[in-house]
Amino acid sequence: MGPSADFHIASIAVLSLVFLYVTFGRRGRQGRQFKLFVALFVSTVLLVVCGLARGIVVMGLGVEQAAAPFRAAVTVLQCVASCLMLAYTASLCRSEGRGVRFERVALTAIPFILATCATISSLFTDSVFYVDSDGFLSPGPLHFAVHLCMAFYPAMCIVYAIAYRKMLRTLDAAAVWCASILVLICVCVETLNPQIRLASFGFAMAVLSVFVTAGSPFEFVDSLTHAFDASAFRAHVAELLKGGRRFSVVVITLRRLPMLNALLGTQVADEAIKLCAQAAVHAGRTRQVYRVRGSAFAFVTFSRRESRRVTEELAKLFAKPQQLGGTSMRLDVAVASASGLDAFDSSEDIAQYVGFLIDKLQEGVEVPEEQRGLIEEFRRRREVRRYLAHAVSEGLVSTYAQPLYSLEQNRFCGFEALSRLEHPTLGAIPPDEFIDAAESEGLIAELGRTQFDAVCRFASEHADELVAAHIDAIKVNLSPVELMEADFGLNTLMVMERWGVSPALFQFEITETASTRYGFEAGDAIKTLRDAGSRFCMDDFGSGFANLDSILSLPFSVVKIDRTLLAAAVEGDSARALYRSVVEMVKSQGLVVVAEGVETAQQDAFVRSLGVEEAQGFFYAHPVPIGDVFATIHGTKSNG
């Protein structure tokens, strides 16, 4: 059989390796790219099998003429594989409607059609190959033209790779270049010496290179659970949208994963995550399960009946104790079905909505089957985030101030700088909503910088009025992200210096949660500002798990008690006693107490009776644009 047989055997070995990995490992994405990869793989397998069969027939019968149909099949399959290579490359060079148009790719099928017709007709006309007088298969007059058609497609692949290089990932570009050059070399060798059947080997190596780089199913598989990842989910959803199919997405999320990690260790937590993935595979009766978050999975269903069955089955499963790490325990798992997805136009929108539902489930919200209200909420949140990025960059976030009242001196003694956002159509956006959006979008540090600059400018321009109004402190809220920025303290002092304001004028507020979780990391920034004369206030004390140690771990001089404690204190004796004990504990450390959320005369009288030094709330003054703060301070009567 000669060297050609060796190349065919090597090709079979290469293709078998790819087949075993795809079949017994994980199947790849179910999108157009994967389907084209499978088509290329199958055509190459047939090509190698036909080439090997031709060699066996010639060796067994000793008659080249009997192998002519196999030779024709080999040539046709080489043309098919070449054409599929170009189609696969075109799919890599296309994203979200941009890139290579498949209508143009279809026009390149003309050389394939001509080469195929010439090859088939050669069985009767000897135009591409014929058996010479010595009994050998020899190239006919169209042999070179047919092989030129084969070479046309890998050459076009290289052209696409160059023309659309900005759309190709590095791995995709490497796959295209490697596969195309391999096929070109092997086709050229076979064209010059038809006795060396090297093209089949070239296509086999091309398949391997695509598999190892761009076509590998493992690239989109999560290593822990062997579920597909979020990229594969978006690709699958994009294919479903293109096909016009109606579908829902079932999501399953493991709640309280950090607590599970802390109490039982990462190994048990990993087992719990894998159990969720296995449950999704079993209930969904599909291997197309996607790990879309660290502890959340999703898979597609095509009817409401199927979605109900799956969610009910999963809910029943996790209502029972599960065996993890040799211990029987109940996992806090939430399940829901994302429906009404025809309201979205892109896979990215659907992926974001699925993430939105996962957030809801993590918060303990029950997701209903009818989701029009949730979809509207999601769209609002997305619009707020979109507009916030614009508002921060264009300076459209307003600076407000809420005065702080001294209960000892019966006068206003400072104010807290606040941010406010007005949307052109949605109106005023609640602070909690756009602050959360700023944190999730990575805008909180930039927002903090622009707002602090505005406050410093105001303090510089109204220095005399601040003194006349006896303003002792301007409170500024800091986020953990800001505190952990490199050189945050020095940069903040530079802003003060630029506007000529004293660091002693500012009192920086850090929430209880931030000081408890990130106190150590924020230590350098706090020390820098503290040494310069600024003071620090623990905000929202009592809203979380902070205790006296938390207060003493950082150099706080003021503690602001969370408004929820005060609201409860006027309603019941136990809550009142709790509030009193908190005030006494803070005062015993020589710290100033600020009562937050005072809205009624009853609450004002209560905090005064406890000896609270300062208070803030609607009872004294509402937040106003920072330019109106002096009018508010001078126009409001003292409460005594």
**Residue 401 falls inside a structural domain:** yes
Angle (CA) 7 11 12, round 5° = 120
Between β-strands 411-423 and 398-406, what pairing exists: parallel, antiparallel or unpaired? antiparallel
Same domain, 352 and 390: no
What residue ranges in 573-634 does DSSP mark as E strands? 592-596, 614-616, 624-625
**Residue 375 falls inside a structural domain:** no
Highest mean pLDDT among 63-72, 73-82, 436-445: 436-445
Per-residue pLDDT tens digits for 505-556 = 999 998 877 776 666 667 788 889 999 999 999 888 876 655 566 667 778 8
Same domain, 462 and 603: yes
Q: How sure is the predictor about 502, in pLDDT bands with cuts at 50, 70 and 90?
A: very high
Q: Which of 118-122, 330-334, 554-558, 607-611 has the lowest mean pLDDT?
A: 118-122
**Residue 378 falls inside a structural domain:** no
Same domain, 320 and 401: no
**Residue 522 falls inside a structural domain:** yes
CATH number at residue 295: 3.30.70.270
Q: What is the mean pLDDT of residues 555-580?
A: 89
Same domain, 555 and 627: yes
**Residue 159 falls inside a structural domain:** yes
Burial of 638 (0-12, 13-18, 19+ CB in 10 A): exposed
Q: How sure is the predictor about 324, in pLDDT bands with cuts at 50, 70 and 90?
A: confident
Same domain, 151 and 163: yes
Position 382, amino acid: R
Same domain, 435 and 553: yes
**Residue 377 falls inside a structural domain:** no
**CA–CA distance, 414 with 399 (Å, rounded to integer):** 15
Same domain, 366 and 390: no
pLDDT of residue 409 exceeding 70, the answer is yes
Same domain, 302 and 396: no
Per-residue pLDDT tens digits for 251-270 = 999 998 888 887 788 888 88
> 501: part of which helix (H) or strand (E)?
none
Q: How far is CA 39 from CA 46, 83, 461, in A?
A: 11, 11, 72
Q: How sure is the predictor about 73, in pLDDT bands with cuts at 50, 70 and 90?
A: confident
**Residue 376 falls inside a structural domain:** no
Position 498, amino acid: R
Same domain, 127 and 139: yes
- Which domain range does residue 627 map to? 386-635
Q: Which of 335, 370, 405 is the last residue of a domain?
A: 370
Per-residue pLDDT tens digits for 142-201 = 888 888 888 888 898 888 888 887 777 676 787 788 888 888 888 888 888 777 777 777
Q: What is the mean pLDDT of residues 310-334?
A: 88
Residue 146: alpha-carbon gap to chain centroid: 48
Q: Which of 370, 402, 420 is the last residue of a domain?
A: 370
**CA–CA distance, 413 with 344 (Å, rounded to integer):** 52
Helix (H, G, I), strand (E, B), or coil: what is residue 298? strand
Same domain, 407 and 310: no
**CA–CA distance, 153 with 114 (Å, rounded to integer):** 14
Same domain, 154 and 250: no
Per-residue pLDDT tens digits for 83-114 = 888 888 887 776 544 555 655 666 778 888 88
Q: Which of 150, 183, 218 is the last residue of a domain?
A: 218
The answer to whether the CB of 367 falls within 8 A of the CB of 355 is no
**CA–CA distance, 347 with 96 (Å, rounded to integer):** 9
CATH number at residue 195: 1.20.1070.10
The answer to whether the CB of 624 falls within 8 A of the CB of 400 is yes
pLDDT for the residue numbered 28: 44
Per-residue pLDDT tens digits for 7-25 = 555 555 555 655 545 554 4
Q: Count structural domains, the chain.
A: 3
Same domain, 506 and 597: yes
**CA–CA distance, 288 with 297 (Å, rounded to integer):** 10
CATH number at residue 592: 3.20.20.450
**Residue 467 falls inside a structural domain:** yes
pLDDT for the residue numbered 637: 43
How many other C-beta atoms lie within 10 A of the C-beta of residue 182?
Answer: 20
